A and B are shown apart, each in its own frame.
Chain A
Amino acid sequence: MNRALRAALAAGATAAVGCFVWSSWLPNSQYAPVEISFAVVGLSFMVAGIAAWQRWPASRLGLLFTIIGYLWNPAFSGCNASCPANVLLIGNGSRSAWNTLGTIAALVGLVITGIVLTLIVRHWRSARGWSRRAMIPLLWIAPAVGAENILTGSLFHFPALVTYALLPLLLLAGPVLFVISTVRARTAGGALGTAIVDLEPGASPGRLRDALARALGDSTLQLAFQQPGGAGHLDTLGQAVDRSVAPIAGSGGTVLVYDEGLELEPQLVKLTAAAASMALEHTRLQAEVQAQLEQVRASRARLVEAGDAERRRLERDLHDGAQQRLVTLSLALGMARDRAAGADPELEALIDSAGKEAREALTELRELARGIHPAVLTETGLTGAVQALVERSPVAATITAVPDERFPAAIEATAYFVVSEALANVAKHAMADGAQVTIRRRRPGRLVVEVSDDGAGGARPEGSGLRGLADRVASVGGVLRVDSPPGGGTRLEADIPCP
Chain B
Amino acid sequence: MSVTAGPAEPKARLRVVIAEDTVLLREGLRRVLTDAGLDVAGTAADADQLLKLVQALSPDVVLTDIRMPPTQTTEGLQAALEIRRRWPGTAVIVVSQHVETEHLFELLAGDPRGIGYVLKERVADIAQFTAAIHRVAAGESVIDPQVVSRLVARPRRNSPLETLTERELAVLALMAEGRSNQAIALQLYMSPKTVETHVGNLFGKLGLLPAAQDHRRVLAVLTYLRR
The reply to whether chain A is a binding partner of chain B is yes
Residues of chain A having any CB pair with chain B under 8 Å: 316, 319-320, 323-328, 330-335, 338, 355, 358-359, 362-363, 366, 369, 374-376, 378-380, 383-385, 387-388, 391-396, 398, 433-434
Is B155 touching A394 in the complex (CB atoms < 8 A)? yes
Is A375 touching B98 in the complex (CB atoms < 8 A)? yes
Is B102 touching A332 in the complex (CB atoms < 8 A)? no
By a CB distance below 8 angstroms, the chain B residues around A388 are 100-102
Cα distance A181–B124 in the bound complex, in angstroms: 102
Closest beta carbon of chain A to B103's beta carbon, Å: 7
Q: Which of A326, A334, A359 contacts B126 (CB 8 A)?
A: A334
Closest beta carbon of chain B to A100's beta carbon, Å: 116
By a CB distance below 8 angstroms, the chain A residues around B126 are 331, 334-335, 338
Cα distance A363–B32 in the bound complex, in angstroms: 22
B156 in the interface (beta carbon within 8 A): yes
Closest beta carbon of chain B to A302's beta carbon, Å: 24
Is A334 touching B120 in the complex (CB atoms < 8 A)? no
Is B102 touching A387 in the complex (CB atoms < 8 A)? yes
Is A376 touching B100 in the complex (CB atoms < 8 A)? yes
Is A375 touching B102 in the complex (CB atoms < 8 A)? no
Per-position 1/0 for B83-104, Cβ under 8 A of A: 0000000000000011111110
Cα distance A325–B121 in the bound complex, in angstroms: 11
By a CB distance below 8 angstroms, the chain B residues around A434 are 157
| Identity of the chain A residue whose Cβ is nearest the Cβ of B100 in the assembled complex | A388
By a CB distance below 8 angstroms, the chain B residues around A394 are 155
Is A328 touching B125 in the complex (CB atoms < 8 A)? no
| Identity of the chain A residue whose Cβ is nearest the Cβ of B24 in the assembled complex | A328
Is B120 touching A362 in the complex (CB atoms < 8 A)? yes
B25 in the interface (beta carbon within 8 A): yes
Add 18 more A-B contacts to A316-B72, A323-B97, A384-B103 (CB < 8 A). A319-B72, A323-B120, A326-B121, A328-B24, A331-B25, A332-B28, A335-B31, A335-B35, A335-B126, A355-B124, A363-B121, A374-B100, A378-B73, A388-B102, A391-B101, A392-B150, A393-B155, A433-B157
By a CB distance below 8 angstroms, the chain A residues around B32 are 331, 334-335
Chain A to chain B: the 7 pairs with minimum beta-carbon distance, closest first: A384-B102, A330-B124, A388-B100, A334-B124, A396-B157, A396-B155, A331-B28
Cα distance A91–B47 in the bound complex, in angstroms: 130
Closest beta carbon of chain B to A48's beta carbon, Å: 89
Is B123 touching A331 in the complex (CB atoms < 8 A)? yes
Cα distance A391–B74 in the bound complex, in angstroms: 21
By a CB distance below 8 angstroms, the chain B residues around A319 are 67, 72, 97
Closest beta carbon of chain B to A309's beta carbon, Å: 14
Is B124 touching A380 in the complex (CB atoms < 8 A)? no
17 example contacts (A-B, Cβ-Cβ < 8 A) are as follows A323-B97, A324-B22, A327-B25, A328-B22, A328-B28, A330-B124, A331-B123, A355-B124, A376-B98, A379-B73, A379-B103, A380-B102, A383-B102, A388-B102, A391-B150, A392-B150, A395-B155
By a CB distance below 8 angstroms, the chain B residues around A338 are 35, 126-127
Q: Which of A330, A392, A396 contacts B121 (CB 8 A)?
A: A330
Closest beta carbon of chain A to B224's beta carbon, Å: 13
Closest beta carbon of chain A to B29's beta carbon, Å: 7
By a CB distance below 8 angstroms, the chain A residues around B28 are 328, 331-332, 335
Residues of chain B having any CB pair with chain A under 8 Å: 22, 24-25, 28-29, 31-32, 35, 67, 72-74, 97-103, 120-121, 123-127, 150-151, 154-157, 226-227
Closest beta carbon of chain A to B201's beta carbon, Å: 24
| Identity of the chain A residue whose Cβ is nearest the Cβ of B126 in the assembled complex | A334
Q: Which of B124, B127, B150, B154 contacts A359 (CB 8 A)?
A: B124
Closest beta carbon of chain B to A232's beta carbon, Å: 63
| Identity of the chain B residue whose Cβ is nearest the Cβ of A434 in the assembled complex | B157
Cα distance A264–B100 in the bound complex, in angstroms: 83
Cα distance A369–B126 in the bound complex, in angstroms: 25
| Identity of the chain A residue whose Cβ is nearest the Cβ of B69 in the assembled complex | A320
| Identity of the chain B residue whose Cβ is nearest the Cβ of A397 in the assembled complex | B155
Cα distance A226–B27 in the bound complex, in angstroms: 78
Cα distance A375–B100 in the bound complex, in angstroms: 10
Is A358 touching B155 in the complex (CB atoms < 8 A)? no
Cα distance A398–B99 in the bound complex, in angstroms: 18
Cα distance A268–B34 in the bound complex, in angstroms: 100
Cα distance A158–B169 in the bound complex, in angstroms: 127
Is A391 touching B24 in the complex (CB atoms < 8 A)? no
Is B120 touching A396 in the complex (CB atoms < 8 A)? no
Q: Which of A320, A323, A396 contacts B72 (CB 8 A)?
A: A320
Cα distance A385–B101 in the bound complex, in angstroms: 9
Cα distance A266–B141 in the bound complex, in angstroms: 94
Cα distance A394–B101 in the bound complex, in angstroms: 17
Closest beta carbon of chain B to A354's beta carbon, Å: 10
Is A327 touching B73 in the complex (CB atoms < 8 A)? no
In the complex with contacts A319-B97, A334-B32, A387-B226, A358-B124 CB distance below 8 A: yes
Closest beta carbon of chain B to A343's beta carbon, Å: 16
Cα distance A379–B154 in the bound complex, in angstroms: 23
Most buried by B among A385, A388, A398: A388
Closest beta carbon of chain A to B96's beta carbon, Å: 10
Closest beta carbon of chain A to B104's beta carbon, Å: 10
Cα distance A376–B98 in the bound complex, in angstroms: 8
Is A334 touching B125 in the complex (CB atoms < 8 A)? yes
Q: Which of B25, B124, B150 contacts A324 (CB 8 A)?
A: B25
Most buried by A among B32, B123, B124, B157: B124
Closest beta carbon of chain A to B219's beta carbon, Å: 16
Cα distance A333–B123 in the bound complex, in angstroms: 11
By a CB distance below 8 angstroms, the chain B residues around A387 are 100-102, 226
| Identity of the chain B residue whose Cβ is nearest the Cβ of A393 in the assembled complex | B155
Cα distance A335–B121 in the bound complex, in angstroms: 14
Is A362 touching B101 in the complex (CB atoms < 8 A)? no
By a CB distance below 8 angstroms, the chain B residues around A385 are 100, 102
Is A391 touching B151 in the complex (CB atoms < 8 A)? yes
Is B226 touching A327 in the complex (CB atoms < 8 A)? no
Closest beta carbon of chain A to B162's beta carbon, Å: 11
Cα distance A362–B102 in the bound complex, in angstroms: 21
By a CB distance below 8 angstroms, the chain A residues around B125 are 334
| Identity of the chain A residue whose Cβ is nearest the Cβ of B102 in the assembled complex | A384
| Identity of the chain A residue whose Cβ is nearest the Cβ of B73 in the assembled complex | A379
| Identity of the chain A residue whose Cβ is nearest the Cβ of B124 in the assembled complex | A330
Closest beta carbon of chain A to B153's beta carbon, Å: 10
| Identity of the chain A residue whose Cβ is nearest the Cβ of B129 in the assembled complex | A334
Cα distance A442–B102 in the bound complex, in angstroms: 25
Q: Which of B100, B150, B154 contacts A384 (CB 8 A)?
A: B100
Closest beta carbon of chain B to A430's beta carbon, Å: 13
